Amino acid sequence: MPAPIVLSGRYELGELIGRGGMADVYEGLDLRLGRRVAVKMLRPDMARDGQFRARFEREARAVAGLNHPSIVGVYDTGEHNSDPLSPHSVAVPYIVMEYVEGRTLRDVIREGTPSIDDSIDALLGVLSALEYSHQHGIIHRDIKPANVMACNEPGSVKVMDFGIARATADTSATVTQTQAVVGTAQYLSPEQAQGKVVDARSDLYSAGCLLYELLTGRPPFVGESAVSVAYQHVQSVPRPAADFNPDVTPALQSVLDRALEKDPDDRFQSAAAFQRALRGARAGVVVPARPGRGAATAGAAAGAAADDGGVPTAAVGLVGESGGGQNGAGPGQDGAGPDGAGAKSADGAGSSSHLGDTGEFPAYAPPPGDLIQFDDARDEERARRGRGRRRTWIVVLLVMALLVATGGGLLLYQYMNQPSAVQMITVPAVTNMSETEAALKLQSLGLQPNISHPKDPTVPKGTAIKTVPDAGTQLAKGSSISLEISDGPANATIPTSIIGATESGARSTLQALGLQVKPRSILANDPKAPYGTVIATNPGAGQTVGLGTEVELTVSTGKVSVPNLRGMAVADAQKALADRGLKAAVQEQEDANAAPGTVTYQDPAADGSVDQGGTVSLIVAKAPPPPPAPSPSPSPTDTTSTAPAPSGPGNSGNPPGKKGGGNG
């Protein structure tokens, strides 16, 4: 097994636990403190891009100063260069973060819509983190389910990935250096989608989108492309959450409505206010509508008054308190009768009302002293006729007012809709813009883009090719215009540059070309390719294949296969190993059964493997030493004369080695 990678002599990398758009996340061990950490490393192919490095370093700076239980903590940062002596290697920045056990809210939602209480608890945690970061001048700008971890502790969440966060002093930076709108389409605030200035309220809009998805299992707006979703954030109102989840209460819907207002001034103005409203909604408290929000608000107020037993009061008065009003509007202004003389009351004071209860002028008053008899029936009939005439006049006046209003409305309509000079728009050049930029530019000029996605071998996917009609053409404002966005080439060539690249870099390169990559790579030994780099592809590098073709990668194990060396001359064996970059450790051993100088044993055995640059042990046969020369055998006479005969019964006089028994 290869030695584990240790960063800065302290952080030992473990298995890969996550892969993002520009970085990989590994489980790690802090050797100094003995604790588990998460190490986020910028991919080597991204590390050469200054823009990605700046974004990665900005994330480290943004979170390093934040210490909050609902924000993933950052412990350390640094750079790692796997081969500092190589001119082609690059130092890869990394961030050492808190290790969090749990799942992202995206995974939680995919497994099923959480309960109302769990959804509220999760968002309260997110809002607590946003309140803290906003107080420290950091706007996240990419709040979404994939950037929130649901910890194993109930109700505990962690906000992460401040990769596109900005300081409050830099809120005007709504776009990157390449002028692409940042953020994720389903959770963009309207001002982000339009490239306008963002502030903390943009995070609150995204948090509202997150709450909507927690409650319903889907984002507020869905569409076929990021552009169509961005349009809806700017122009459309999401369907009520109760349409998808009947457990959503009117109080909770009122919180969603306020959070998803298009105008930032109409939303919650702080994360703390959002939290208070969310806790109130749990208790059934409805967020009041914004003042001056139109006829719907007034109608709702009138309906509420009627429900309470009240009667809405009409504010329109045609006449005064007695029918004519002070200095009334009836015939004979300021008390003038039919003849123009001022009418007086019985006490001589000027009358303040010129119409009686019946709406007619009072009957003639005879001089004092005359006795007049009134007929009650006749008086009642006169009053009834007076009331009828008054109603008739009211109806006539209303009809006349209606006719005047209708006529005036028609005249105004004709005046407002009379043919005017057609405003012409010059079609702008949108070539090489992104789809979002091109569409928003045309829309801002009053044109309605119809987007198509033709294949184009020369224009990168997602980039504008042209408009139909072309740039410079004059069109009436409000006209439709065709916008062609490249869907990339129909074919792709597997680049030869991925040979020797890291596995993750090769996967990203192939996927960016529209090719599929098999999830499992083939592991193979290679004497020269470093560990984890691509050795070969199938189909081979340099071949042109159709989009969507699945490519299989062969990745180096960092080891070398050992050949069969037994029976070879030691010099030949050493050369075979040297060709593979290996060394030989030779030991001689006597062996009468093998030719001297040949290999009789090797370790590792044939077809085994050893680390690149490793050593293979060889045992080489050598000839055994010749046996010693035999000494000459003595003759019997010499033996008899030189060796005394053993004494004993029956052995007297017998030479050694001879049987004897005396004479017998």
- Please identify every residue annotated as catalytic: 142
Residue with tokens 């780099």, as numbered in its chain: 533
Q: What DSSP string runs through 436-502? A: HHHHHHHHHTT-EEEEE----SSSPTTBEEEEESPTT-EEETT-EEEEEE----SEEE--GGGTTSB
With both helix axes pointing from N to C terminus, report the angle between 271-282 and 200-216 in degrees, rounded to the nearest 10. 30
Residue with tokens 């009836």, as numbered in its chain: 330
Q: How far apart are CA 156 and CA 126, in angstroms?
A: 9
Name the H helices within 592-653: 636-642
- In this structure, the number of other CB atoms found within 10 A of the CB of residue 539 comes to 14
Q: How far apart are CA 447 and CA 470, in angstroms?
A: 13
Two tokens, residue 92: 């890869």
Per the CB < 8 A criterion, the answer to whether 228 and 247 are in contact is no
Q: How far apart are CA 150 and CA 152, in angstroms?
A: 7
Residue with tokens 């984002």, as numbered in its chain: 219
Q: How far apart are CA 253 and CA 239, in angstroms?
A: 10
Q: How far apart are CA 122 and CA 139, in angstroms?
A: 19
- The annotated binding site for ATP is made up of 40
- The annotated binding site is made up of 40
- How far is the CA of 19 from the CAs of 15, 39, 48, 303, 309, in angstroms? 12, 12, 18, 55, 62
Q: What are phi and psi of 124, to 5 degrees?
A: -60, -40
Torsion-angle region of 348 (φ positive above 0: left; ψ -120 to 50: alpha; else: beta)? left
Longest Cα–Cα distance in the chain: 213
Per the CB < 8 A criterion, the answer to whether 608 and 565 are in contact is no
- How far is the CA of 98 from the CAs of 26, 40, 155, 472, 607, in angstroms? 12, 11, 18, 55, 43
